[in-house]
Amino acid sequence: MIRRPPIRRKRDSTITLINVVFLMLIFFLIAGTVAPPLDSNLQLVETSGLEGREPPDALVLHQDGRLSFRGAVTDPQTYMADHGAKPVRIVPDRAVPGARLIEVTGALRRLGAPGVFLVTVRSLE
């Protein structure tokens, strides 16, 4: 009589996969801490009383809708003719109408600006 070899069940590899994924998760949780948290007793500097100043290479969009570059009034056509096809940074006034901001950024893009970046205030809160 010939005996058949016992049927071997294939091992399920999902347990191994789950273990590997779990170990990777733990590794990235531990290694992902880029900086230690701020000390709870630390008091940050208050800059609300300081007068702001725009970056020297940025267009300023004033509340009334006019554009200026380094203190001189300009328009998108003149600015792009003088500065070529480089990314443009705009510092908009907080009270400028959104429609005017969209109009200016659209004009700069149509005139060849590869990118238009808005310079804003960054807050820790």
pLDDT at 21: 94
pLDDT at 50: 47
pTM, to two decimals: 0.54
Q: Extract the tokens encoding 77.
A: 């056509």
Q: What is d(CA 24, CA 30) in angstroms, rounded to the nearest whole number?
A: 10
Residue 104 in domain: yes
pLDDT at 20: 93
pLDDT at 5: 79
User: What would the pLDDT profile of 65-110 be if each residue is shown by its tens digit?
Assistant: 889 888 788 888 888 888 877 888 888 888 888 889 899 999 999 9
How far apart are the two ends of the chain, measured CA to CA in Å? Answer: 82
Q: How far is CA 88 from CA 41, 48, 109, in A?
A: 40, 27, 9
Number of domains in the chain: 1
pLDDT at 19: 92
Residue 85 in domain: yes
Q: Extract the tokens encoding 81.
A: 């003719």
Residue 109 in domain: yes
Residue 39 in domain: no
User: What would the pLDDT profile of 7-53 be if each residue is shown by its tens digit?
Assistant: 777 767 788 889 999 999 988 888 776 556 655 665 555 545 545 55
Residue range(s) defining the domain that contains residue 86? 59-118
